[in-house]
Structure 1
Amino acid sequence: MADWIETNGTILRVAVEGEGPPLVLVHEIGGTLESYDAVVPALARTHRVVRYDMRGCGLSEFNVAPITLPLLVNDLLGILDAYDLRRVSVAGCAAGAAVAIGLALDHPARVHKVVAMSPALQVPPEKKAAVLARADAFEGEGLRPTQDARMASSYPEALRGDRARFDRIRRQRLAANPYGIAGLLRMLARLDMTRRLPELRHPMLVMAGIHDGDRPPQVVKPIADAVPGARYMEIESGHFMPMQTPDAIIAALTDFLSPTS
């Protein structure tokens, strides 16, 4: 069952399940802690799984102040302190991977292992104006006008064999807070974590989706190459891996997080 905590000047919805070494799951832009519904039951058999709605997302508080990566990292740090979690493995999808990596970079003693799925760590200079324009459009028009076009890139036809799953995820994303998404997009447009990747010294798994039109393998692999000793994996998935291909994510995380890995 989810709870709400107050930390770092905001209210965050948090869910904790299972017993064992702590594992934190950080969702993507437009997602919520429910982004991990399909993988948590299996992961919670061996881990204490912590997931939460980032500020401005789901049922966490929306603040009008600009969102920055240090702010999101401090939100996560506040969750760890609230639940007395001294050292955790952390997995993030897309912009959630930026938060996971940010925690490892700025608070290395608090992190054991890192998993980055379809990591979104920067926006190329030639695409920044379009990302900022999209943020403005979401605030002015909502998400519906561009939803199908965005899903065509992040959740292409090749992955829509389970139509009920696709329809459910489409509805979840349409129901997201457009103002929270806009704030996170502006944060991403200002972000460039690539220069700091060689500083990472944690065991790290970087995952790319073969069908991901937003962060394809040719964008993701250089991230793994920049991290000393990082493991790289390509899977038959898209941009929302834990929702689209949960069995593959369960298998990959279970193997990587194993004490013998």
Structure 2
Amino acid sequence: MVTSKGSVMELRRIRTNGTELNVALDGTGPPVLLMHGWPHTWQVWREVLPLLGGRRRVIAPDLRGLGDSARAADGFDAATGADDMLGLLDALGVEQTEIVALDAGVPAAFLLGALHPARVRRLVLMEATLPGLPGGFPAPPWWFGFHSAPGLAETVLEGHEAEYLDWFLTAGTFERRGVPSEVRDAFVSAYTGREALRCGFGYYRAAEQNAAAIAAAGRLTMPTLAVGGNTVGDLLNRQLTPIAEDLSGELIARSGHLVPLDRPDAVARLLRVDSATSR
């Protein structure tokens, strides 16, 4: 069990799709699956959960190979990630859920919605662009190439993980104010060591595979919300416009890339509104 600002969550190890995920579970009510990005763990949602007042059944895994989930040799591509989440939902007996995904969690969430629409009641996709769809960043950020080169980044960064992650965690927040110290320490711990780094960079090394899968996936038929902070902005909304049948977009004021940590109130509001209209 873990306590966060008055909310007590259960941490459980759950086997799915040939791996084992560490999963934070909290609350009752309409289910919501929360998928983090890089360099995060489930704790990127830590500030949001107490604001939900236990009114959602929260399922927040550490993604394959990351955080306290089992290290994995492979499977960091979005299609495998979608299958990981399907297996997780099956293990928990969840037939249909809302999915909220951030950053590197977005490609797998997209594929889950596109390929298994009956399992997804609503998609909320935050601060990412999708490879394989036109309209993303004109040029990828510098670290995409660094992280994608096989074996390079983990070799260079081992022993300097804290300094490297601190740059991202500071730059990714509104006005570079940084993240809470306990969340920062959890992230640094999760990505310290060559194997932990390798798994994290595996998500970048799957970009070409993801692009092919996303380009072939088809349309989104469920309600979809594209959420932007001050990094991606409305790029994802524009990417999804031709292929999402029920799309809306929202730009979150006073938020950097790490929307759940910069503006947990805004994220909780989106989820509370959705909960109130759930059947």
Q: So what's the TM-score if we normalise by structure 1?
A: 0.85
Change (3 A) 1:256 1:230: farther
Structure 1 position 35, deviation (Å): 1.3
Length, aligned pairs only:
253
**Aligned mates of 1:203, 1:84 — CA distance in 2:** 22
Change (3 A) 1:194 1:154: farther
**Deviation by residue 1:44-88 (Cα, 9 ceiling, x = unmatched):** 532211111111111101112252111111110111010110111
Alignment of 1:98-137 (within 5 A): 98-122=107-131, 127=140, 131-135=144-148, 136-137=151-152
Structure 1 position 133, deviation (Å): 2.3
Identify the residue that residue 202 of structure 2 maps to in structure 1: 183
Amino acid at match of 1:92: A
User: Does 2:252 match 1:232?
Assistant: no
- Of the three residues 55, 74, 78, the one matched with 2:83 is 74
Between the aligned residues of both structures, percent identity stands at: 25
Q: In proportion to residue count, which structure has more helix? A: 1
**Deviation by residue 1:196-223 (Cα, 9 ceiling, x = unmatched):** 686101011110003x2xxx21423313
**Deviation by residue 1:183-206 (Cα, 9 ceiling, x = unmatched):** 111123543376468610101111
Unaligned runs of 5+ in 2: 1-9
Identify the residue that residue 224 of structure 2 maps to in structure 1: 204
**Aligned mates of 1:116, 1:127 — CA distance in 2:** 19
Residues 154, 238 of structure 1: 8 Å contact kept: yes
Amino acid at match of 1:54: L
Unaligned runs of 5+ in 1: none
Structure 1 stretch 233-242 or stretch 166-175: which is displaced more? 166-175
Amino acid at match of 2:147: R
- Of the three residues 19, 30, 54, the one matched with 1:45 is 54
Residues 4, 12 of structure 1: 8 Å contact kept: yes
Change (3 A) 1:170 1:189: farther
Identify the residue that residue 272 of structure 2 maps to in structure 1: 254
Residues 17, 44 of structure 1: 8 Å contact kept: no
Amino acid at match of 2:38: I
